[in-house]
Amino acid sequence: MADTNQHFNCDPIFTRRQMLQRCGTGLGSLGLASLMASQGLLDEAAGASAGRTESPMAPKMSHFPGRAKHVIHIFLNGGASQVDTFDPKPALAKYAGKMLPTQNLRTERKTGASLPSPFKFKKYGESGLEVSELFSQLGECVDDIAFVRSMYTNVPNHEPSLMMMNCGDLIQPRPSMGAWVTYGLGTENQNLPGFVVMCPGGYPITESANWRSAFLPGAYQGTHIDTKHTDIEKLISNIKNKKLALPEQRRQLDLLQALNRRHQAARAEESALESRIQSFELAYRMQMQASDVFDINQEPEHIHEMYGKGVHARQCMIARRLVERGVRYVQLWHGAGQPWDNHDEIEKGHRRLADQCAQPIAALLKDLKQRGLLQDTIVMCGGEFGRTPVVELPTPGANAGKMNGRDHNNHGFTVWLAGGGVKGGQAYGATDEFGFAAVENKVHVHDLQATVLKLLGFDHERLTYRFAGRDFRLTDVHGRVVEDLIA
């Protein structure tokens, strides 16, 4: 008994208060580790040791501090004509109806004489950059825009050029740029997709391949929204559960997830299972915010007047609302198929298309800027290639037999960038005097992709994913950062 009393009377290593303090601190450290992991502030090993189980879309750290956090990619699918929009070529008028003194470059179809632009160009802003009357509304924004007039790509065909612009490869199935960005950065809002694609009326050529995740986990694939609809339940199918309240859905989903995890435990190599599990979780969470973000009726009247009317006004307004709520990558397509593919009636077709989107695009830039969002949002606009400065000759089965359109042109075209650390108020590079081919400071699509990734905080050579025994990247084995485009 004496020995027992002596044991309890000896000085302990910790007093009871010290023990509670130290245990409390330890529990706090675990909580802090979990919080840091969920915000992407721990590396993979540290996150795993902290018991991290957060969504693959949780925010992550980039290689270095990026100037931009979001991307809005406006896609003029079909190929807008650079000599009718952002690259004035007065020399074409001198040879109107005549063959150019230089030989026509090879494109998809037969071409003939010079076809001057029917549109007038005017200088705007302190930079004095020239813009066509088609996009005169952008005149107030030119000092924030960098026009890359020396773009080029590999081939003059829609399908491979779309794949190159979006996925960095002409033919092979590769992850899209939006998928790479969300893989690298995650997203800031776990209740919305990290990568949203809006295309009214259906799909572009090559359809969902333009925003696929390929061998990246399926969580990084773009979520397609058909913006011809205005009703939220048509925009996003099954967004509302009319039979079960959220708490009941949560219990049901928890049971389903438990069964799925048990099934997955024996099939760890099947990444599609994890993607399916995450898609269920996202669908549940989207009920909380999707109805709000796509409801542009909440916008005041002066905002509606600034953007104008129509589907593209809605798209641009929604794009701003998405990045405002933390969505990482938003892509806006002009419409199904290839609307800018004007092999005939270039004047009529381009005027109609520009009338649909010029005001909303300019309003988007102004709106982002007035809200302080443009400084960390890259806005990129262009198509998969440009168009020839010479007329396309009539070809049976290819056009309407008229000589007033332009063929595809991969040799030289324009893409413009604004915001997110882009050095605005400049025209970078140049095509020849007729606008046929890039000749000064040439920029390949891979170079453009490498530059956008740098603005987001990534070394494009280090943003890789191991697949089939090789480290893949968006720019394949090519690409250089165009430093002159960065402020």
Q: Which pLDDT does position 288 carry in this prediction? A: 60
Report yes or no: 421 and 487 within 8 Å, Cβ to Cβ: yes
User: How far is 92 from 207, CA to CA, in rounded Å?
Assistant: 36
DSSP letters of 398-412?
A: TS-S-SS-EEEE-SS
Same structural domain for residues 319 and 399? Answer: yes
In a domain, 64, yes or no: no
Report yes or no: 58 and 186 within 8 Å, Cβ to Cβ: yes
**Would you give the DSSP letter of residue 64?**
S
Same structural domain for residues 37 and 102? Answer: no
Pairing outcome for strands 129-132 and 121-124:
antiparallel
Q: Furthest-apart CA pair in the chain: how many Å?
A: 117
Q: Which pLDDT does position 47 carry in this prediction? A: 39
In a domain, 118, yes or no: yes
323-349 burial, b at 16+ Cβ within 10 Å, e below that, comes to bbebbbbbbbbbbbbbbbbbbbebbeb
- The neighbour count for residue 35, using CB atoms within 10 Å, is 12
Q: Which pLDDT does position 1 carry in this prediction? A: 42
Q: Which pLDDT does position 46 carry in this prediction? A: 42
User: How far is 343 from 393, CA to CA, in rounded Å?
Assistant: 9
In a domain, 47, yes or no: no
The vertex-75 CA angle with 156 and 345, nearest 5°, equals 60
- Look up residue 330 and give its amino acid: V
Total count of domains within the chain: 2
Same structural domain for residues 121 and 35? Answer: no
CATH of the domain at 221: 3.40.720
List Cβ neighbours of 67 (8 Å cut-off, separation of 6 or more). Answer: 376, 420, 421, 455, 456, 457, 486, 487
List Cβ neighbours of 298 (8 Å cut-off, separation of 6 or more). Answer: 292
Q: Which pLDDT does position 341 carry in this prediction? A: 97
Range of the domain at 27: 16-42
Same structural domain for residues 413 and 266? Answer: yes
User: How far is 317 from 443, CA to CA, in rounded Å?
Assistant: 30
Nearest to 330 by CA among 218, 228, 188, 446: 188
List Cβ neighbours of 47 (8 Å cut-off, separation of 6 or more). Answer: 37
Q: Which pLDDT does position 51 carry in this prediction? A: 37
Same structural domain for residues 149 and 35? Answer: no
Digit-by-digit pLDDT tens for the chain (487 residues) are 444 444 334 444 445 555 555 555 555 544 554 455 444 454 443 433 333 446 788 999 999 999 999 999 999 999 999 999 999 999 999 999 999 999 999 999 999 999 999 999 999 999 999 999 999 999 999 999 999 999 999 999 999 999 999 999 999 889 999 999 999 999 998 888 999 999 999 999 999 999 999 999 989 999 999 999 988 777 776 666 677 676 776 777 777 777 777 777 776 666 666 666 666 666 656 666 677 888 899 999 999 999 999 999 999 999 999 999 999 999 999 999 999 999 999 999 999 999 999 999 999 999 999 999 999 999 999 999 999 999 999 987 777 778 999 999 999 999 999 999 999 999 999 999 999 999 999 999 999 999 999 999 999 999 999 999 999 999 999 999 999 999 9
**Would you give the DSSP letter of residue 222?**
P
| Residues 407, 411, 412, 414, CA torsion sign | positive
Same structural domain for residues 92 and 23? Answer: no
Torsion, CA 364, CA 366, CA 367, CA 370, rounded to 10: 160
Report yes or no: 330 and 71 within 8 Å, Cβ to Cβ: yes
In a domain, 11, yes or no: no
User: How far is 249 from 257, CA to CA, in rounded Å?
Assistant: 12
Same structural domain for residues 27 and 144? Answer: no
Same structural domain for residues 417 and 463? Answer: yes
Same structural domain for residues 22 and 148? Answer: no
User: How far is 23 from 183, CA to CA, in rounded Å?
Assistant: 37
Same structural domain for residues 101 and 21? Answer: no
User: How far is 358 from 312, CA to CA, in rounded Å?
Assistant: 9
Q: How many residues does the chain have?
A: 487
In a domain, 150, yes or no: yes
User: How far is 307 from 310, CA to CA, in rounded Å?
Assistant: 9
136 three-class SS: helix
Report yes or no: 418 and 359 within 8 Å, Cβ to Cβ: no
In a domain, 87, yes or no: yes
Report yes or no: 153 and 107 within 8 Å, Cβ to Cβ: no
